[in-house]
Amino acid sequence: MTSDVDGDTTELSRPARRQAEIAAYVVEHGSVSANDLVEAFGVSVMTVHRDLDELERQGVVRKYRGGVSAQPTSVFESNVAYRLNTAQTEKAAIARHARAMIEPGMSVMLDDSTSALALIDLFEDITPLTVATNFLPAITKLAALRDITLLALGGIYSATHDSFGGMPCAEAVEALHTDLLFCSVSAVSPTHAFHQEEEIVLVKRAMLRAAKTKVLLVDHAKLQRTALHRLAPLTDFDVVVVDEKTPKDLIQPLRDHGATVEVAKL
């Protein structure tokens, strides 16, 4: 669990980073007091409380009098701040690889994945483009771009993912059909893609039905994890993109089971 946080420490505001670290700390220790955190992170009690409030708002920890306790690991792992911290250079490489699949005029669907964010930065040259997404940071970014038709997929806001979901979102997805889907999950086995949360699975399944070409974006950390809900067999995806750091012996099994795997060059 404490393993693969190969954090580039940049790219995230100081408080956000500290919050992610606090979250990790809490998850590791199960439950700690505010004062413990004061010592561990060298900030004032006030700041600790503010951080914990924010983490609680995101659903990552539960506050009670005298301390905080961790929520199930699942929600921590799908916490946005945490994910943003992880494997940024790999994600950039994956994004560049994905970009090559897009042609001007296409319609593209993005889910609430941090790789998608990196991908958006590469959109400026591929206009015109139609992009549909349920991920709030992505929506904000896209709204500022010209020559991009932005189709926001609404739904119930989740602070943990900073995205929209639930039935309303699934319905919005079902009304569409895009050329491409770029999608991410929290865990990948040799045969299937998995995700922690049921409501998210609901939306992602809908997205899979609503796109012609489906691309799964996977950084190497995902291949060594598991998660509760089976989302879909890997053969449902037309392409699975992994980063270069992925060990060869983890890639081969996917291919053996019929998946088309491409490796993104750094």
Partner DNA sequence: TGTTCTTACCGTCTTCTGCTGTTATGTTAT
Partner DNA sequence: ATAACATAACAGCAGAAGACGGTAAGAACA
Residue 136 interacts with a second copy (CB under 8 A): yes or no: yes
Residue 140 interacts with DNA (CB under 7 A): yes or no: no
Residue 156 interacts with a second copy (CB under 8 A): yes or no: yes
Q: What are phi and psi of 257, to 5 degrees?
A: -90, 10
Residues 33, 73, 149, 224: which binds DNA (CB under 7 A)?
33
Smallest separation (angstroms) from a second copy to the CB of 122: 19
Considering the complex, state which of residue 130 and residue 260 has its C-beta at the smaller distance from a second copy.
Answer: 130
E strand or H helix that includes residue 240: strand 239-243
Q: Which does 82 bind (CB under 5 to 8 A by kind): a second copy, DNA, none?
A: none
Count of alpha carbons within 13 angstroms of residue 163, beta-carbon side? 26
The site string for DNA over 41-70 (x = CB under 7 A, - otherwise) reads: -xxxxxx-xxx-x---------xxxxx---
Question: Which amino acid is located at 104 in the chain?
Answer: P
- How far CA 182 is from CA of 25, 54, 208, in Å, comes to 32, 29, 10
Considering the complex, state which of residue 12 and residue 263 has its C-beta at the smaller distance from DNA.
Answer: 12
Residues 76, 82, 135, 164: which binds a second copy (CB under 8 A)?
164
| CA distance between the termini of the chain | 26
Smallest separation (angstroms) from DNA to the CB of 52: 7
Identify the CA nearest to 113 among candidates 74, 151, 86, 147: 86
Number of Cβ atoms within 10 Å of the Cβ of 6: 14
For tokens 């669907």, the residue is 109
Selected range binding a second copy among 143-151, 180-188, 203-211, 216-224, rule: CB under 8 A:
143-151
Angle between helices 45-57 and 34-41 (to 10 degrees): 110
Contact set for a second copy, span 35-94 (CB under 8 A): 57
Identify the CA nearest to 98 among candidates 120, 79, 129, 125: 120
Q: Which does 36 bind (CB under 5 to 8 A by kind): DNA, a second copy, none?
A: none
- Token pair recorded at residue 20: 């992610």
Rounded CA separation 154/159 (Å): 14
Q: Which does 59 bind (CB under 5 to 8 A by kind): DNA, a second copy, none?
A: none
Binding stretches for a second copy (CB under 8 A)? 57, 134, 136, 139-140, 142-143, 146, 149-157, 159, 162, 164, 168-169, 171-172, 175-176
Q: Which residues in this chain contact DNA in the complex, by CB under 7 A?
A: 13-15, 18, 33-35, 42-47, 49-51, 53, 63-67
